[in-house]
Structure 1
C-alpha cells in the first residue's frame, strides 16, 4: 500500500510541475510603479518602463506578483499589464538577423537591456522580434528573456 501512495504522490508532483508554464506579460502603454506589497500603500520599489516583460508569479485579487529580468520580485495591479508580449535582450551586442539563421544578414545589434516586441509567439531556437524603430528580424532565443 505504501508503494501505491508513493507512486500516486510522484504522479501528482509531475502533473503539477508540467502544468506550471511560465506566464509572461508586458507593462502596458504607460510606465508603472512596482511595489513591495499588493497595495498602493506599499513601498514603491521602482518604475517599470512601457513594454517591459515580466513573469507573473502569482495573482492575489486585483494584484499580481511579478519577476523581472533581474529576478527581482514586485507587485503591481493586474490592469497595468498587457497580454502583448515583449522580450528583453540579455547579452551585449546580440545580433538580430533578417532570417532565422546564423548566416542571415544582421539587420541590427541590440545591446543588453533593450526591449523588443515579440512578433511571433511560436518560440524555437529563434524568435521573431520588432524594435521600436520598426526594424524586424530574428534573434536567438538564448539571447533574450521573457519567453
Structure 2
C-alpha cells in the first residue's frame, strides 16, 4: 500500500513539474520558440545536410523559394527541418524565413470570398501551389497566391497546425 501511495504521489508531482510542462510545450534551445513550428524557404536554393555544420554531407537541395517547412530541432545556427513528405535534414537558419506559407493538398481547391463554403469562389488552386498564409480560424485560413486570395478549409493545407489560430 505504501508503495502504491508513493507511486501515485510521484506521478502527480511529475505531471505538474516543469519537466512535464516542458515535454508538453517543447521550445527550441536557441530561439526559445515552440517546436515544432512552421517557416518557409527564404532562398531559391538551400542545402540540406545530415548534421548541423558545414562539414556534414549534403543529402539534397531544396529548390523552391517560399516552400513551407517544419522546424523540429535547433542547434546553434542550424535548424532541423522537414517538408510535407517528412524528408529533411539540417539547414542554416539564414536560408529560412518566418513568413508563413502553405502547400495546397487538394486538387483544384476552391478559394472562397469568405470563410463559408456557400460564399462565391474567387479562384481554384492546384495541388502543390505554395500560397501565403494569412488569418486562420479553427477551420478556415485566408490564403493568397498568383494575385488571387480568399479562404480555404484548413484541412486542405499543409503548413498550419489543425488547432492553430492566427490573427
**What's the TM-score, normalizing by structure 2?**
0.78
How many residues are paired up? 145
Which structure 1 residue ranges, 4+ long, deviate > 4 Å from structure 2? none
User: Could you tell me how far apart the structure 2 residues matched to 1:109 and 1:38 are?
Assistant: 39
User: Could you tell me how far apart the structure 1 residues matched to 2:94 and 2:106 are?
Assistant: 30
Which structure has the larger Rg over C-alpha atoms?
Answer: 2
Cα RMSD between the aligned structures?
1.9
Unaligned runs of 5+ in 2: 1-5, 27-33, 161-167
Deviations 1:102-125 (A, max 9, x none): 0111122112211000122x4421
What SS does the aligned partner of 2:117 have? coil
What SS does the aligned partner of 1:137 have? strand
Counterpart contact for 2:72–2:80, Cα < 8 Å: yes
Counterpart contact for 1:34–1:48, Cα < 8 Å: no
Kindly indicate whether structure 1 or structure 2 has the higher relative contact order, using CA contacts under 8 Å at least 6 residues apart: 1
* 1:17 shift after superposition: 4.4
Counterpart contact for 2:67–2:101, Cα < 8 Å: yes
**What's the TM-score, normalizing by structure 1?**
0.87
Q: Which residue of 1 aligns with 2:121?
A: 106
Q: Which residue of 2 aligns with 1:71?
A: 86
